[in-house]
Structure 1
Amino acid sequence: MATQKFKLSYLHPKYWLAWLAVGVSRCMAILPRSWQFSLSKWIANRLASKENRRISTIRRNIDRCFANETDAYREELVRANIKSSALMLFDLFNIIWRPPADMTANIKVVGEEYLEQALRADKPLLLVIGHFTPLFHAISKLSTLAPFDVIYRRMNNPVMEANLYQRGAGKYPITLFHRKDIRKMLEKLADNGTVFIAQTKILVSVVAHSFLFLVFQQRRLPLFHNMPNRRMRK
Protein backbone atom coordinates (compact mmCIF):
# COMPACT_ATOMS: atom_id res chain seq x y z
CA MET A 1 0.00 0.00 0.00
CA ALA A 2 1.40 3.40 -0.96
CA THR A 3 1.40 5.62 2.16
CA GLN A 4 4.46 7.80 1.53
CA LYS A 5 3.15 10.90 -0.22
CA PHE A 6 6.39 11.72 -2.00
CA LYS A 7 9.38 9.77 -3.26
CA LEU A 8 12.03 10.73 -5.77
CA SER A 9 10.70 7.98 -8.03
CA TYR A 10 7.37 9.85 -8.16
CA LEU A 11 9.09 12.53 -10.27
CA HIS A 12 9.22 10.11 -13.20
CA PRO A 13 7.26 11.39 -16.23
CA LYS A 14 4.84 8.46 -15.98
CA TYR A 15 3.45 10.06 -12.81
CA TRP A 16 3.05 13.59 -14.16
CA LEU A 17 -0.60 13.12 -15.09
CA ALA A 18 -1.23 11.65 -11.64
CA TRP A 19 0.27 14.74 -10.00
CA LEU A 20 -1.89 16.90 -12.25
CA ALA A 21 -4.97 14.99 -11.10
CA VAL A 22 -3.95 15.49 -7.46
CA GLY A 23 -3.54 19.22 -8.08
CA VAL A 24 -6.91 19.49 -9.81
CA SER A 25 -8.59 17.69 -6.90
CA ARG A 26 -7.05 20.22 -4.51
CA CYS A 27 -8.33 23.13 -6.59
CA MET A 28 -11.82 21.63 -6.77
CA ALA A 29 -11.92 21.13 -3.00
CA ILE A 30 -11.21 24.76 -2.18
CA LEU A 31 -14.17 25.96 -4.24
CA PRO A 32 -17.13 27.17 -2.15
CA ARG A 33 -19.82 24.54 -1.78
CA SER A 34 -22.25 26.72 -3.75
CA TRP A 35 -19.82 26.70 -6.67
CA GLN A 36 -19.54 22.94 -6.47
CA PHE A 37 -23.34 22.65 -6.68
CA SER A 38 -23.43 24.99 -9.66
CA LEU A 39 -20.67 23.10 -11.45
CA SER A 40 -22.45 19.80 -10.81
CA LYS A 41 -25.64 21.22 -12.30
CA TRP A 42 -23.73 22.52 -15.33
CA ILE A 43 -22.08 19.12 -15.83
CA ALA A 44 -25.47 17.40 -15.58
CA ASN A 45 -27.01 19.69 -18.19
CA ARG A 46 -24.11 19.13 -20.57
CA LEU A 47 -23.92 15.36 -20.17
CA ALA A 48 -27.66 14.68 -20.20
CA SER A 49 -27.78 15.30 -23.94
CA LYS A 50 -24.91 12.91 -24.64
CA GLU A 51 -25.46 9.37 -25.86
CA ASN A 52 -22.52 7.59 -24.26
CA ARG A 53 -22.86 4.23 -22.56
CA ARG A 54 -23.10 5.55 -19.02
CA ILE A 55 -25.82 8.08 -19.80
CA SER A 56 -27.74 5.52 -21.86
CA THR A 57 -27.71 3.13 -18.89
CA ILE A 58 -29.03 5.82 -16.55
CA ARG A 59 -31.76 6.79 -18.99
CA ARG A 60 -32.80 3.17 -19.63
CA ASN A 61 -33.03 2.36 -15.91
CA ILE A 62 -35.09 5.46 -15.18
CA ASP A 63 -37.40 4.76 -18.13
CA ARG A 64 -38.07 1.27 -16.80
CA CYS A 65 -38.58 2.31 -13.19
CA PHE A 66 -40.79 5.30 -14.02
CA ALA A 67 -42.54 4.08 -17.16
CA ASN A 68 -45.83 5.73 -16.13
CA GLU A 69 -44.29 9.17 -15.67
CA THR A 70 -43.98 11.86 -18.31
CA ASP A 71 -40.93 12.25 -20.52
CA ALA A 72 -40.17 15.60 -18.88
CA TYR A 73 -40.21 14.05 -15.41
CA ARG A 74 -37.90 11.21 -16.44
CA GLU A 75 -35.53 13.66 -18.12
CA GLU A 76 -35.38 15.66 -14.89
CA LEU A 77 -34.48 12.48 -13.01
CA VAL A 78 -31.66 11.80 -15.47
CA ARG A 79 -30.21 15.25 -14.85
CA ALA A 80 -30.63 14.87 -11.08
CA ASN A 81 -28.84 11.53 -11.19
CA ILE A 82 -25.87 12.96 -13.09
CA LYS A 83 -25.74 15.98 -10.79
CA SER A 84 -25.70 13.75 -7.72
CA SER A 85 -22.86 11.69 -9.20
CA ALA A 86 -20.87 14.86 -9.89
CA LEU A 87 -21.44 16.01 -6.32
CA MET A 88 -20.11 12.68 -5.11
CA LEU A 89 -16.85 13.42 -6.92
CA PHE A 90 -16.66 16.79 -5.18
CA ASP A 91 -17.38 15.01 -1.88
CA LEU A 92 -14.37 12.80 -2.53
CA PHE A 93 -12.20 15.87 -3.07
CA ASN A 94 -13.64 17.46 0.07
CA ILE A 95 -13.04 14.46 2.31
CA ILE A 96 -9.42 14.43 1.13
CA TRP A 97 -8.57 18.10 1.43
CA ARG A 98 -11.08 19.77 3.75
CA PRO A 99 -11.24 19.59 7.56
CA PRO A 100 -13.47 16.78 8.87
CA ALA A 101 -15.85 19.32 10.42
CA ASP A 102 -16.82 20.53 6.94
CA MET A 103 -17.99 17.03 6.04
CA THR A 104 -19.97 16.34 9.21
CA ALA A 105 -21.51 19.72 10.09
CA ASN A 106 -24.86 19.17 8.37
CA ILE A 107 -25.12 15.38 8.65
CA LYS A 108 -27.52 13.70 11.07
CA VAL A 109 -27.47 10.01 11.97
CA VAL A 110 -30.89 8.42 12.45
CA GLY A 111 -30.80 5.33 14.66
CA GLU A 112 -27.48 6.15 16.30
CA GLU A 113 -28.60 4.31 19.44
CA TYR A 114 -28.63 0.98 17.57
CA LEU A 115 -25.03 1.43 16.50
CA GLU A 116 -24.04 2.32 20.05
CA GLN A 117 -25.84 -0.78 21.31
CA ALA A 118 -23.96 -2.97 18.84
CA LEU A 119 -20.65 -1.39 19.82
CA ARG A 120 -21.32 -1.96 23.53
CA ALA A 121 -21.83 -5.67 22.85
CA ASP A 122 -18.07 -5.91 22.22
CA LYS A 123 -18.50 -8.34 19.35
CA PRO A 124 -17.36 -8.36 15.71
CA LEU A 125 -19.36 -5.76 13.80
CA LEU A 126 -19.95 -5.29 10.07
CA LEU A 127 -21.25 -1.90 8.96
CA VAL A 128 -22.90 -2.55 5.60
CA ILE A 129 -24.02 0.54 3.71
CA GLY A 130 -25.41 1.11 0.24
CA HIS A 131 -23.14 2.61 -2.40
CA PHE A 132 -25.17 5.79 -2.73
CA THR A 133 -23.84 9.22 -3.65
CA PRO A 134 -23.57 10.67 -0.07
CA LEU A 135 -21.17 7.80 0.73
CA PHE A 136 -18.28 10.01 1.81
CA HIS A 137 -20.51 12.01 4.14
CA ALA A 138 -21.60 8.71 5.71
CA ILE A 139 -18.00 7.59 6.21
CA SER A 140 -16.95 10.88 7.78
CA LYS A 141 -19.97 11.07 10.10
CA LEU A 142 -19.86 7.45 11.25
CA SER A 143 -16.16 7.82 12.06
CA THR A 144 -17.13 10.39 14.72
CA LEU A 145 -19.15 7.68 16.47
CA ALA A 146 -16.56 4.90 16.39
CA PRO A 147 -13.26 4.06 14.67
CA PHE A 148 -13.52 1.38 12.00
CA ASP A 149 -11.74 -0.29 9.10
CA VAL A 150 -12.91 0.29 5.53
CA ILE A 151 -12.79 -2.22 2.70
CA TYR A 152 -11.98 -0.42 -0.53
CA ARG A 153 -10.54 -0.82 -4.01
CA ARG A 154 -6.93 0.30 -4.00
CA MET A 155 -5.66 2.56 -6.78
CA ASN A 156 -2.98 1.08 -9.01
CA ASN A 157 -1.16 4.41 -9.24
CA PRO A 158 0.92 4.90 -6.05
CA VAL A 159 0.94 8.71 -6.37
CA MET A 160 -2.84 8.90 -6.44
CA GLU A 161 -3.25 6.18 -3.80
CA ALA A 162 -1.00 7.98 -1.32
CA ASN A 163 -2.08 11.54 -2.06
CA LEU A 164 -5.80 10.91 -2.41
CA TYR A 165 -7.15 7.87 -0.57
CA GLN A 166 -4.49 7.60 2.12
CA ARG A 167 -4.37 11.35 2.65
CA GLY A 168 -8.13 11.46 3.15
CA ALA A 169 -8.21 8.44 5.46
CA GLY A 170 -5.45 9.96 7.59
CA LYS A 171 -7.82 12.70 8.76
CA TYR A 172 -10.26 10.24 10.29
CA PRO A 173 -10.07 7.36 12.79
CA ILE A 174 -10.34 4.83 9.98
CA THR A 175 -7.98 2.33 8.39
CA LEU A 176 -8.17 1.25 4.76
CA PHE A 177 -7.44 -2.24 3.52
CA HIS A 178 -7.85 -3.79 0.09
CA ARG A 179 -11.03 -5.71 -0.65
CA LYS A 180 -9.05 -8.89 -1.40
CA ASP A 181 -7.20 -8.81 1.92
CA ILE A 182 -9.67 -11.19 3.54
CA ARG A 183 -7.16 -12.39 6.13
CA LYS A 184 -6.82 -8.89 7.56
CA MET A 185 -10.57 -8.39 7.66
CA LEU A 186 -11.09 -11.61 9.59
CA GLU A 187 -8.30 -10.73 11.98
CA LYS A 188 -10.02 -7.41 12.68
CA LEU A 189 -13.32 -9.14 13.31
CA ALA A 190 -11.65 -11.78 15.46
CA ASP A 191 -10.40 -8.91 17.62
CA ASN A 192 -14.00 -7.62 17.93
CA GLY A 193 -13.27 -4.84 15.46
CA THR A 194 -15.68 -2.88 13.27
CA VAL A 195 -15.44 -3.26 9.48
CA PHE A 196 -17.21 -0.94 7.03
CA ILE A 197 -18.39 -2.37 3.68
CA ALA A 198 -19.92 0.00 1.15
CA GLN A 199 -20.43 -1.89 -2.12
CA THR A 200 -22.70 -4.76 -2.99
CA LYS A 201 -20.13 -6.34 -5.31
CA ILE A 202 -17.46 -6.06 -2.64
CA LEU A 203 -19.81 -7.59 -0.06
CA VAL A 204 -20.48 -10.62 -2.26
CA SER A 205 -16.77 -11.00 -2.96
CA VAL A 206 -15.91 -10.70 0.73
CA VAL A 207 -18.45 -13.32 1.78
CA ALA A 208 -17.29 -15.78 -0.88
CA HIS A 209 -13.59 -15.32 -0.19
CA SER A 210 -14.15 -15.40 3.57
CA PHE A 211 -15.92 -18.76 3.33
CA LEU A 212 -13.07 -20.27 1.32
CA PHE A 213 -10.51 -18.76 3.65
CA LEU A 214 -12.20 -20.21 6.74
CA VAL A 215 -12.43 -23.67 5.22
CA PHE A 216 -8.67 -23.88 4.82
CA GLN A 217 -7.42 -21.55 7.58
CA GLN A 218 -9.78 -21.93 10.54
CA ARG A 219 -7.01 -23.16 12.89
CA ARG A 220 -4.96 -20.01 12.43
CA LEU A 221 -7.43 -17.44 13.75
CA PRO A 222 -8.08 -17.07 17.50
CA LEU A 223 -11.77 -16.67 16.78
CA PHE A 224 -11.95 -20.27 15.60
CA HIS A 225 -9.57 -21.99 18.02
CA ASN A 226 -12.44 -23.59 19.89
CA MET A 227 -14.23 -24.86 16.82
CA PRO A 228 -14.15 -28.65 16.37
CA ASN A 229 -11.86 -29.87 13.63
CA ARG A 230 -14.11 -31.90 11.39
CA ARG A 231 -12.82 -33.67 8.36
CA MET A 232 -14.53 -32.89 5.10
CA ARG A 233 -15.98 -35.77 3.16
CA LYS A 234 -14.38 -36.45 -0.18
Structure 2
Amino acid sequence: MAKKTTTLDKSITNFLGPKHWLSWGAMGVAYLLSYLPWCGQKFLGNTLGTIHYALSTNRKNICHVNLKICFPDMSEEERTQLAKAHFKSMGIGVFEMFVSWFQDRSKTEEKVMFNNQDVIEKALNKGKGCIIIGAHFSSIDLCGTHMARYIDVHPIYKLQRNPVVNWVMERQREAIFTKTIERKNVRAVIKSLKENKAVWYAIDQDYGRKNSVFAPFYGRQCATISQISRLAQNTKAAILLYDYGRTENGYFLSLTELEDYPSGDEVADATTINKLVEAQINNKKEQYFWSHRRFKTQPINGDPSPYRK
Protein backbone atom coordinates (compact mmCIF):
# COMPACT_ATOMS: atom_id res chain seq x y z
CA MET A 1 0.00 0.00 0.00
CA ALA A 2 1.42 3.39 -1.01
CA LYS A 3 2.52 5.65 1.81
CA LYS A 4 0.83 9.03 2.14
CA THR A 5 3.51 11.74 1.95
CA THR A 6 3.52 15.42 1.14
CA THR A 7 4.73 16.55 -2.29
CA LEU A 8 5.32 20.19 -1.38
CA ASP A 9 9.04 19.55 -1.08
CA LYS A 10 9.22 17.69 -4.40
CA SER A 11 9.49 18.81 -8.01
CA ILE A 12 7.04 17.67 -10.65
CA THR A 13 9.94 15.78 -12.25
CA ASN A 14 9.61 13.21 -9.44
CA PHE A 15 6.23 12.19 -10.82
CA LEU A 16 6.76 12.06 -14.59
CA GLY A 17 7.69 8.39 -14.86
CA PRO A 18 5.52 5.86 -16.76
CA LYS A 19 3.84 4.60 -13.57
CA HIS A 20 2.27 8.07 -13.16
CA TRP A 21 1.09 8.56 -16.74
CA LEU A 22 -2.42 7.23 -16.08
CA SER A 23 -2.82 9.57 -13.12
CA TRP A 24 -1.66 12.55 -15.17
CA GLY A 25 -4.08 11.55 -17.91
CA ALA A 26 -6.90 11.57 -15.36
CA MET A 27 -5.78 15.02 -14.17
CA GLY A 28 -5.87 16.22 -17.77
CA VAL A 29 -9.44 15.00 -18.20
CA ALA A 30 -10.38 16.64 -14.88
CA TYR A 31 -8.85 19.91 -16.09
CA LEU A 32 -10.92 19.86 -19.28
CA LEU A 33 -14.13 18.93 -17.44
CA SER A 34 -13.66 21.89 -15.10
CA TYR A 35 -14.50 24.19 -18.04
CA LEU A 36 -18.00 22.76 -18.45
CA PRO A 37 -20.90 25.07 -17.55
CA TRP A 38 -22.45 24.52 -14.13
CA CYS A 39 -25.60 22.88 -15.49
CA GLY A 40 -23.48 20.46 -17.52
CA GLN A 41 -21.40 19.56 -14.49
CA LYS A 42 -24.53 18.89 -12.45
CA PHE A 43 -25.93 16.66 -15.19
CA LEU A 44 -22.70 14.68 -15.54
CA GLY A 45 -22.32 14.55 -11.75
CA ASN A 46 -25.76 12.99 -11.42
CA THR A 47 -24.86 10.50 -14.14
CA LEU A 48 -21.53 9.66 -12.48
CA GLY A 49 -23.29 9.15 -9.15
CA THR A 50 -25.88 6.84 -10.71
CA ILE A 51 -23.13 4.73 -12.31
CA HIS A 52 -21.11 4.68 -9.08
CA TYR A 53 -24.14 3.49 -7.11
CA ALA A 54 -24.72 0.68 -9.58
CA LEU A 55 -21.08 -0.50 -9.67
CA SER A 56 -19.57 0.26 -6.24
CA THR A 57 -20.71 -2.62 -4.05
CA ASN A 58 -18.50 -1.65 -1.11
CA ARG A 59 -19.38 2.06 -0.94
CA LYS A 60 -23.04 1.27 -1.51
CA ASN A 61 -22.97 -1.17 1.42
CA ILE A 62 -21.29 1.42 3.68
CA CYS A 63 -23.90 4.01 2.73
CA HIS A 64 -26.85 1.70 3.38
CA VAL A 65 -25.42 0.54 6.73
CA ASN A 66 -24.97 4.16 7.85
CA LEU A 67 -28.48 5.13 6.78
CA LYS A 68 -30.00 2.12 8.56
CA ILE A 69 -28.13 3.03 11.77
CA CYS A 70 -29.01 6.73 11.62
CA PHE A 71 -32.56 6.53 10.24
CA PRO A 72 -34.06 3.27 11.55
CA ASP A 73 -37.60 4.63 11.18
CA MET A 74 -37.20 5.16 7.44
CA SER A 75 -38.59 2.48 5.18
CA GLU A 76 -36.17 0.47 3.07
CA GLU A 77 -37.48 2.24 -0.03
CA GLU A 78 -36.89 5.68 1.54
CA ARG A 79 -33.33 4.77 2.50
CA THR A 80 -32.65 3.46 -1.00
CA GLN A 81 -33.88 6.71 -2.54
CA LEU A 82 -31.73 8.70 -0.12
CA ALA A 83 -28.69 6.54 -0.91
CA LYS A 84 -29.16 7.11 -4.65
CA ALA A 85 -29.54 10.86 -4.08
CA HIS A 86 -26.36 10.80 -1.96
CA PHE A 87 -24.33 9.18 -4.73
CA LYS A 88 -25.61 11.77 -7.21
CA SER A 89 -24.65 14.55 -4.82
CA MET A 90 -21.17 13.09 -4.42
CA GLY A 91 -20.89 12.84 -8.21
CA ILE A 92 -21.63 16.55 -8.50
CA GLY A 93 -19.03 17.11 -5.78
CA VAL A 94 -16.36 15.51 -7.99
CA PHE A 95 -16.94 18.15 -10.66
CA GLU A 96 -16.99 20.90 -8.02
CA MET A 97 -13.61 19.64 -6.86
CA PHE A 98 -12.28 19.92 -10.42
CA VAL A 99 -13.52 23.51 -10.59
CA SER A 100 -11.90 24.36 -7.25
CA TRP A 101 -8.59 22.90 -8.44
CA PHE A 102 -8.38 24.28 -11.96
CA GLN A 103 -10.61 27.35 -12.25
CA ASP A 104 -10.43 30.85 -10.83
CA ARG A 105 -12.92 31.46 -8.02
CA SER A 106 -14.49 34.28 -10.00
CA LYS A 107 -16.14 31.67 -12.22
CA THR A 108 -18.48 30.61 -9.38
CA GLU A 109 -18.31 33.69 -7.15
CA GLU A 110 -21.81 34.94 -7.99
CA LYS A 111 -23.31 31.59 -6.95
CA VAL A 112 -21.98 31.73 -3.37
CA MET A 113 -23.65 33.52 -0.44
CA PHE A 114 -21.80 33.88 2.88
CA ASN A 115 -24.06 34.44 5.90
CA ASN A 116 -22.95 35.86 9.26
CA GLN A 117 -19.56 37.15 8.09
CA ASP A 118 -19.32 39.38 11.17
CA VAL A 119 -18.93 36.30 13.39
CA ILE A 120 -15.33 35.73 12.29
CA GLU A 121 -14.37 39.35 12.98
CA LYS A 122 -15.84 39.24 16.50
CA ALA A 123 -14.04 35.96 17.23
CA LEU A 124 -10.64 37.19 16.06
CA ASN A 125 -11.03 40.45 17.97
CA LYS A 126 -10.53 38.38 21.12
CA GLY A 127 -6.93 37.80 19.99
CA LYS A 128 -6.78 34.05 20.63
CA GLY A 129 -7.43 32.80 17.12
CA CYS A 130 -10.42 30.65 16.29
CA ILE A 131 -11.14 27.05 15.41
CA ILE A 132 -13.72 26.56 12.67
CA ILE A 133 -15.38 23.16 12.83
CA GLY A 134 -17.64 21.61 10.23
CA ALA A 135 -18.75 18.34 8.71
CA HIS A 136 -18.06 16.64 5.38
CA PHE A 137 -20.63 17.52 2.73
CA SER A 138 -20.25 16.90 -0.97
CA SER A 139 -19.51 20.54 -1.85
CA ILE A 140 -16.62 20.77 0.64
CA ASP A 141 -13.93 21.61 -1.95
CA LEU A 142 -15.78 24.37 -3.77
CA CYS A 143 -17.23 25.93 -0.62
CA GLY A 144 -13.85 25.74 1.11
CA THR A 145 -12.25 27.57 -1.78
CA HIS A 146 -14.78 30.37 -1.43
CA MET A 147 -14.38 30.51 2.35
CA ALA A 148 -10.84 31.74 1.68
CA ARG A 149 -12.31 34.80 -0.11
CA TYR A 150 -13.66 36.02 3.21
CA ILE A 151 -11.37 34.49 5.87
CA ASP A 152 -7.61 34.01 6.17
CA VAL A 153 -8.23 30.41 7.15
CA HIS A 154 -5.67 27.61 7.58
CA PRO A 155 -7.41 24.33 6.69
CA ILE A 156 -6.42 20.95 8.08
CA TYR A 157 -6.11 18.43 5.26
CA LYS A 158 -5.58 14.73 4.77
CA LEU A 159 -3.01 13.41 2.31
CA GLN A 160 -4.03 10.99 -0.44
CA ARG A 161 -2.20 7.84 -1.46
CA ASN A 162 -1.81 8.91 -5.09
CA PRO A 163 1.23 11.25 -5.28
CA VAL A 164 0.02 12.95 -8.48
CA VAL A 165 -3.28 13.80 -6.82
CA ASN A 166 -1.35 15.13 -3.82
CA TRP A 167 0.91 17.20 -6.09
CA VAL A 168 -2.10 18.89 -7.72
CA MET A 169 -4.19 19.16 -4.55
CA GLU A 170 -1.47 20.56 -2.32
CA ARG A 171 -0.45 23.21 -4.84
CA GLN A 172 -4.02 24.24 -5.49
CA ARG A 173 -4.61 24.71 -1.79
CA GLU A 174 -1.31 26.55 -1.34
CA ALA A 175 -2.48 28.97 -4.05
CA ILE A 176 -5.86 29.54 -2.37
CA PHE A 177 -4.97 29.49 1.34
CA THR A 178 -2.11 31.39 2.98
CA LYS A 179 -1.26 28.22 4.90
CA THR A 180 -2.42 24.60 4.91
CA ILE A 181 -1.76 22.12 7.72
CA GLU A 182 -1.47 18.35 7.41
CA ARG A 183 -3.78 16.83 10.02
CA LYS A 184 -1.03 15.27 12.18
CA ASN A 185 0.87 18.56 12.54
CA VAL A 186 -0.59 19.79 15.85
CA ARG A 187 2.37 22.12 16.43
CA ALA A 188 1.48 24.07 13.26
CA VAL A 189 -2.14 24.35 14.44
CA ILE A 190 -1.08 25.88 17.76
CA LYS A 191 1.30 28.26 15.96
CA SER A 192 -1.54 29.51 13.73
CA LEU A 193 -3.83 30.07 16.71
CA LYS A 194 -1.10 32.00 18.56
CA GLU A 195 -0.87 34.21 15.47
CA ASN A 196 -4.63 34.89 15.85
CA LYS A 197 -5.54 32.99 12.69
CA ALA A 198 -8.53 30.78 11.90
CA VAL A 199 -7.92 27.03 11.67
CA TRP A 200 -10.51 24.83 9.92
CA TYR A 201 -11.21 21.23 10.96
CA ALA A 202 -13.66 18.80 9.37
CA ILE A 203 -14.45 16.92 12.58
CA ASP A 204 -16.91 14.16 11.69
CA GLN A 205 -14.73 11.25 10.53
CA ASP A 206 -13.49 8.25 12.48
CA TYR A 207 -9.80 8.77 13.35
CA GLY A 208 -9.55 5.70 15.54
CA ARG A 209 -9.70 4.92 19.24
CA LYS A 210 -6.46 6.77 20.15
CA ASN A 211 -7.67 10.16 18.91
CA SER A 212 -11.31 9.93 19.93
CA VAL A 213 -13.90 9.67 22.66
CA PHE A 214 -17.21 7.89 22.20
CA ALA A 215 -20.35 10.01 21.98
CA PRO A 216 -23.80 9.43 20.47
CA PHE A 217 -24.32 10.20 16.80
CA TYR A 218 -27.91 9.62 15.73
CA GLY A 219 -28.32 7.54 18.89
CA ARG A 220 -25.31 5.24 18.38
CA GLN A 221 -21.98 5.53 20.18
CA CYS A 222 -19.46 6.83 17.68
CA ALA A 223 -15.72 7.60 17.79
CA THR A 224 -15.59 11.41 17.79
CA ILE A 225 -12.45 13.53 17.59
CA SER A 226 -11.42 14.81 21.04
CA GLN A 227 -8.62 17.14 19.95
CA ILE A 228 -10.90 20.16 19.41
CA SER A 229 -11.99 20.22 23.04
CA ARG A 230 -8.40 20.06 24.29
CA LEU A 231 -7.20 22.68 21.82
CA ALA A 232 -9.95 25.08 22.85
CA GLN A 233 -9.19 24.47 26.52
CA ASN A 234 -5.45 25.06 26.11
CA THR A 235 -5.48 27.99 23.65
CA LYS A 236 -8.74 29.75 24.63
CA ALA A 237 -9.50 30.03 20.91
CA ALA A 238 -13.08 30.78 19.91
CA ILE A 239 -15.00 27.88 18.35
CA LEU A 240 -17.06 28.61 15.24
CA LEU A 241 -19.50 26.15 13.71
CA TYR A 242 -19.30 26.14 9.92
CA ASP A 243 -22.27 25.13 7.80
CA TYR A 244 -22.31 25.07 4.02
CA GLY A 245 -23.95 23.31 1.14
CA ARG A 246 -25.40 23.27 -2.33
CA THR A 247 -28.72 24.95 -3.05
CA GLU A 248 -30.93 24.87 -6.11
CA ASN A 249 -29.17 27.90 -7.58
CA GLY A 250 -25.74 27.91 -5.95
CA TYR A 251 -24.08 27.53 -2.54
CA PHE A 252 -24.24 28.97 0.98
CA LEU A 253 -21.66 29.38 3.76
CA SER A 254 -22.56 30.21 7.35
CA LEU A 255 -20.74 30.66 10.70
CA THR A 256 -22.01 30.56 14.29
CA GLU A 257 -19.93 30.95 17.44
CA LEU A 258 -20.41 28.22 20.05
CA GLU A 259 -21.11 29.36 23.60
CA ASP A 260 -20.02 27.43 26.72
CA TYR A 261 -17.51 25.36 24.76
CA PRO A 262 -15.36 23.67 25.87
CA SER A 263 -17.16 22.49 28.99
CA GLY A 264 -14.22 20.66 30.54
CA ASP A 265 -15.78 17.29 29.71
CA GLU A 266 -14.52 15.82 26.43
CA VAL A 267 -17.45 13.40 26.08
CA ALA A 268 -19.97 16.18 26.69
CA ASP A 269 -18.18 18.37 24.14
CA ALA A 270 -18.15 15.55 21.58
CA THR A 271 -21.86 14.99 22.19
CA THR A 272 -22.52 18.69 21.59
CA ILE A 273 -20.59 18.62 18.31
CA ASN A 274 -22.38 15.50 17.09
CA LYS A 275 -25.80 17.03 17.81
CA LEU A 276 -24.84 20.15 15.89
CA VAL A 277 -23.65 18.07 12.94
CA GLU A 278 -26.89 16.08 13.02
CA ALA A 279 -28.87 19.31 12.73
CA GLN A 280 -26.83 20.34 9.68
CA ILE A 281 -27.28 16.93 8.06
CA ASN A 282 -31.04 16.91 8.58
CA ASN A 283 -31.39 20.00 6.38
CA LYS A 284 -29.58 18.36 3.43
CA LYS A 285 -29.34 14.63 4.10
CA GLU A 286 -28.25 13.60 0.61
CA GLN A 287 -25.18 15.90 0.68
CA TYR A 288 -23.54 14.24 3.71
CA PHE A 289 -20.66 11.75 3.32
CA TRP A 290 -22.73 8.64 4.03
CA SER A 291 -20.32 6.45 2.06
CA HIS A 292 -17.57 6.94 4.67
CA ARG A 293 -17.26 4.45 7.52
CA ARG A 294 -18.47 6.73 10.31
CA PHE A 295 -18.96 3.83 12.78
CA LYS A 296 -15.76 1.94 11.96
CA THR A 297 -14.26 1.98 15.48
CA GLN A 298 -16.42 0.12 17.98
CA PRO A 299 -16.83 1.18 21.64
CA ILE A 300 -15.77 -2.33 22.74
CA ASN A 301 -12.43 -3.19 21.19
CA GLY A 302 -12.77 -6.35 19.13
CA ASP A 303 -16.47 -6.03 18.35
CA PRO A 304 -17.16 -6.58 14.64
CA SER A 305 -17.55 -3.65 12.27
CA PRO A 306 -21.15 -2.96 11.20
CA TYR A 307 -19.89 -2.79 7.60
CA ARG A 308 -18.76 -6.40 7.58
CA LYS A 309 -20.88 -8.41 5.16
Unaligned runs of 5+ in 1: 215-234
Displacement of 1:143 after TM fit? Answer: 1.0
Displacement of 1:57 after TM fit? Answer: 2.1
The answer to whether the Cα contact below 8 Å between 1:180 and 1:206 also exists between their aligned partners in 2 is no
> Residue 119 of structure 2: SS of its match in structure 1?
helix
Distance 1:116 1:11, change over 3 A: same
> Residue 195 of structure 1: SS of its match in structure 2?
strand
Distance in 2 separating the partners of 1:128 and 1:158:
27
Query: Corresponding residue for 2:81?
Result: 76
Query: Corresponding residue for 2:170?
Result: 166
Distance in 2 separating the partners of 1:173 and 1:60:
36
The answer to whether the Cα contact below 8 Å between 2:41 and 2:95 also exists between their aligned partners in 1 is yes
Query: Corresponding residue for 1:42?
Result: 47
Q: How does 1:87-126 map to 2 (within 5 A)?
A: 87-126=92-131
After superposition, give the CA deviation of every residue in 1:97-123 in whole Å (9 maximum; x if it has no partner). 111123432122222221221122222
TM-score (norm 2): 0.59
Judge which range, 60-69 or 7-16, deviates more: 60-69
Displacement of 1:80 after TM fit? Answer: 0.8
Aligned residue among 21, 42, 54 for 2:59: 54
Query: Corresponding residue for 1:207?
Result: 227
Distance 1:159 1:127, change over 3 A: same
After superposition, give the CA deviation of every residue in 1:166-207 in whole Å (9 maximum; x if it has no partner). 332144234222111111111111222221112334685682
Point out 4+ residue stretches in structure 1 off by more than 6 angstroms.
Answer: none
Higher helix fraction: Structure 1 or Structure 2? 1
The answer to whether the Cα contact below 8 Å between 1:29 and 1:90 also exists between their aligned partners in 2 is yes
Judge which range, 183-192 or 48-57, deviates more: 48-57
Displacement of 1:73 after TM fit? Answer: 3.3
> Residue 44 of structure 2: SS of its match in structure 1?
helix
Unaligned runs of 5+ in 2: 1-5, 213-224, 235-309
Displacement of 1:151 after TM fit? Answer: 0.9
Seq. identity, % = 21
Distance in 2 separating the partners of 1:157 and 1:68:
40
Query: Corresponding residue for 1:31?
Result: 36
TM-score (norm 1): 0.76
Distance 1:186 1:45, change over 3 A: same
> Residue 200 of structure 1: SS of its match in structure 2?
coil
Query: Corresponding residue for 2:24?
Result: 19
* RMSD of equivalent CA atoms: 2.8
Higher alpha-carbon Rg: 1
Aligned residue among 178, 185, 191 for 2:182: 178
The answer to whether the Cα contact below 8 Å between 2:112 and 2:146 also exists between their aligned partners in 1 is yes
After superposition, give the CA deviation of every residue in 1:4-62 in whole Å (9 maximum; x if it has no partner). 78543332112212212221221221222212211122233334345712102212333
Distance 1:69 1:2, change over 3 A: closer
> Residue 48 of structure 1: SS of its match in structure 2?
helix
Distance in 1 separating the partners of 2:196 and 2:100:
27
Judge which range, 79-88 or 32-41, deviates more: 32-41
The answer to whether the Cα contact below 8 Å between 1:150 and 1:174 also exists between their aligned partners in 2 is no
**Amino acid in the other structure paired with 2:66:** N
Judge which range, 121-130 or 102-111, deviates more: 102-111
The answer to whether the Cα contact below 8 Å between 1:107 and 1:137 also exists between their aligned partners in 2 is no
Distance 1:120 1:91, change over 3 A: same
Distance in 1 separating the partners of 2:174 and 2:18:
27
